[in-house]
Structure 1
Amino acid sequence: MRHPLDDELDRQPYMASDETAADSAEQQIQAERRRLADDLHDIAGFTFTTAIVQLEAIRRLLRENPQESMRRMERLQEFMRLGLDDIRRSVRTLKGPPGQEAGIDLEEALGQLLETTRDMTGATVESEVSVPLNRLAPAQQKVLYHAVREGLTNGIRHGRCTRFSVSIAIRDDLLELLMANDGSPAAGCSDPGIGLCAMRSRVGALGGTMDVVASPEGGYRFRVRLPVGDPIFPH
């Protein structure tokens, strides 16, 4: 005849397993919330920073060139609508299973991002890409896109930058994003805020590094380096 204590001992492994599963599910939910918060910060930061620059330009033009002001206002309205759509897409991921995150076409998304920055802020943005972006892992594509957007947002918001260069290449067997700007010291963000801290975490999750340093030529350089992972890229 089994002792009641034997039944209790038999149940303990299952109880421990249930607790482990619950802890794992909670960790996954918390990670998803952090990812969503970071995405919303990135989207809102870029959208509102760019919109403020455009509104300042419209205000200056309002009296001397009403037609151009109206044209810019219409473009700004469409830009804000697209930003709102991006926010809605991020929020909708909460309704899906944890970890389900849509990928991006980095080549197309990057081109649109740089063109929007040129068009809406008047900044000069030069780019040089020597890596087949469509052959990068989806996680690498997302991190690089977020990094470029964060670099542009910080440069415009804090450093009043008017010129950027963006380079993506393989250097020293690492995938490297290098951004440079002509910003004031604030563009370096020696006191990193939410965006740069989140960016550092994203890069670190892929085994990479990130640094922001003053450039000898003036301005700041923002660099992200990631392990290549698969030797399919030309050197």
Structure 2
Amino acid sequence: MTALWRINLWVTLFFALLALLGAALLLRQGSADVQREMRAAETMIEYLQVAALRDPASLHGGLAGNLRHVRVTPVPAQGVVPPAAESALQQWLAAHLLPDAGPALQLQLDDGQRLQIALDPADEIEEVWDSLLQLLLLSLLAWLVSLLSIAWAVRRGLRVLDELLAGLAQVSQGQLDVRLVAHRMPEARSLAGRFNAMATTLQQVQADNAELTQALMALQEQERARLGQTLHDDLGQYLTGIRAQASLLQIVAEQPEAVRSTAHSLEGHCEHLQNGFRALIRDLYPVVLERLELDAALQLLTQDWQSAQGIRCRLLLGEALPDLPLPSKAHLYRLVQEALTNVARHAQASEVRIRLQYQGRRLRLLVRDNGRGAQMPQRAGIGLRSISERVRSLGGVLRLHSRPGAGWLLCLSIPVGRASQ
């Protein structure tokens, strides 16, 4: 059953109940009115009976025909007065409004004519019947007007709903450029506005994801190129030098000074090669997290970054930090690493402060610099989007604050239970 049919059914039941209630009240009031009029008519019948016994001629002529609620009828030879012609509904209504009409009175006049005097509630019953018909017709008219109004309004709403469903179908097929037309109804305008805002947001997110994917692919190629160049330049050159010096050792084996000089040079080459490989491995994967806790790994990271960038970095660690699984530690480590990278590239800062503490079953990380800052809100770049994705994977909340000349403040809150310790 459609929504329009359900609404029509409820409206029909409401008007039927309202009409029945109105009819019951009308019948109750009509019954009281009819009985009051009939009591007055009974008094008139008593008067007519006395008048007929005193002066039978008073019941002849126009008097009996003009009486209200009293019927004076000649009795035929067979002694039975036929009942008045009434419909079944009128008979039921008469029985309901006047359940006890009283017996008819028959009089024998001096001229031998017999008359029957009885109550006649036909006028009152007809008035009640007319009122009932007016009530039913008025209810029927109101019901029809309500159904037409509801059908008109619902069809307008359904037209908006059909447009919304069509728009959602297009969005589900990837057509994010669809927009709804704003109608005159406030609700339709609000619905169209929210749908259009949703479609715009999805379109922007799709564009951001495409941009992020392209940036990640470019970064992957850059990492591969850097890795290949590092292996070629450092590994290739140092291995070539080591091989040449190893051959030289065979030639100058009898010359102690030359052997010592060559051995010293070999040691320097090996040290440079080892440092290069350590830096390369550290950039590719933070191996220190497998041997050190998060606080010690962050201390080592900030020290190396400060030495490499020449920017002061202050690390404040809270007490009783919880133990985290390796993936979570890696995400937090990369968060700090990417935040420091953004500071080095864009902030133009001379100092960075990092605070990590555990409060209220949440791990809170703050990274603040004293750089140039920016006017908020600002569209996030690749670095901030990467940080946001890492925060989302940890189930945390990220907030960014900045203003021109006041640097950036990165606030991160991650839910952590003691059960992870």
The TM-score with structure 1 as length reference comes to: 0.53
SS in 2 for 1:135: coil
C-alpha displacement at 1:171, in angstroms?
Answer: 3.4
Unaligned runs of 5+ in 1: 1-33, 48-75, 91-101
C-alpha displacement at 1:160, in angstroms?
Answer: 1.4
Tell me the equivalent position of 1:224.
Answer: 412
C-alpha displacement at 1:107, in angstroms?
Answer: 2.7
- CA separation in 2, counterparts of 1:88 and 1:231? 30
Tell me the equivalent position of 2:372.
Answer: 184
C-alpha displacement at 1:206, in angstroms?
Answer: 1.9
Tell me the equivalent position of 1:84.
Answer: 280
C-alpha displacement at 1:146, in angstroms?
Answer: 1.0
Task: Select the structure of larger CA radius of gyration.
Answer: 2
How do 1:1-150 and structure 2 match up within 5 A? Answer: 81-86=277-282, 103=290, 105=292, 106-133=294-321, 135-150=323-338
Is the Cα contact below 8 Å between 2:398 and 2:411 reproduced in 1? Answer: yes
- CA separation in 2, counterparts of 1:196 and 1:222? 10
Letter in 2 for 1:201: E
- CA separation in 1, counterparts of 2:319 and 2:404? 27
- CA separation in 2, counterparts of 1:78 and 1:158? 31
- 2:410 is the alignment partner of 1:212: no
Q: Deviations over 1:38-93 (max 9, x none)?
A: 9x77x96xx9xxxxxxxxxxxxxxxxxxxxxxxxxxxx998765332345559xxx
Higher relative contact order (CA 8 A, sep 6+): 1
Is the Cα contact below 8 Å between 1:156 and 1:162 reproduced in 2? Answer: no
- CA separation in 2, counterparts of 1:87 and 1:116? 12
**Inter-CA distance 78–198: structure 2 relative to 1 (3 Å threshold):** same
C-alpha displacement at 1:222, in angstroms?
Answer: 0.8
**Inter-CA distance 143–82: structure 2 relative to 1 (3 Å threshold):** same
Identity %: 24
- CA separation in 2, counterparts of 1:87 and 1:122? 19
Is the Cα contact below 8 Å between 1:107 and 1:134 reproduced in 2? Answer: no
Is the Cα contact below 8 Å between 2:365 and 2:412 reproduced in 1? Answer: yes
Q: Deviations over 1:190-235 (max 9, x none)?
A: 33222221221121122101122116992111111100122688xx
Is the Cα contact below 8 Å between 1:179 and 1:221 reproduced in 2? Answer: yes
- CA separation in 2, counterparts of 1:184 and 1:166? 18
- What is the CA RMSD across the aligned residues, in angstroms? 3.9
**Inter-CA distance 205–183: structure 2 relative to 1 (3 Å threshold):** same
Q: Deviations over 1:10-45 (max 9, x none)?
A: xxxxxxxxxxxxxxxxxxxxxxxx8xx59x77x96x
- CA separation in 2, counterparts of 1:145 and 1:156? 17
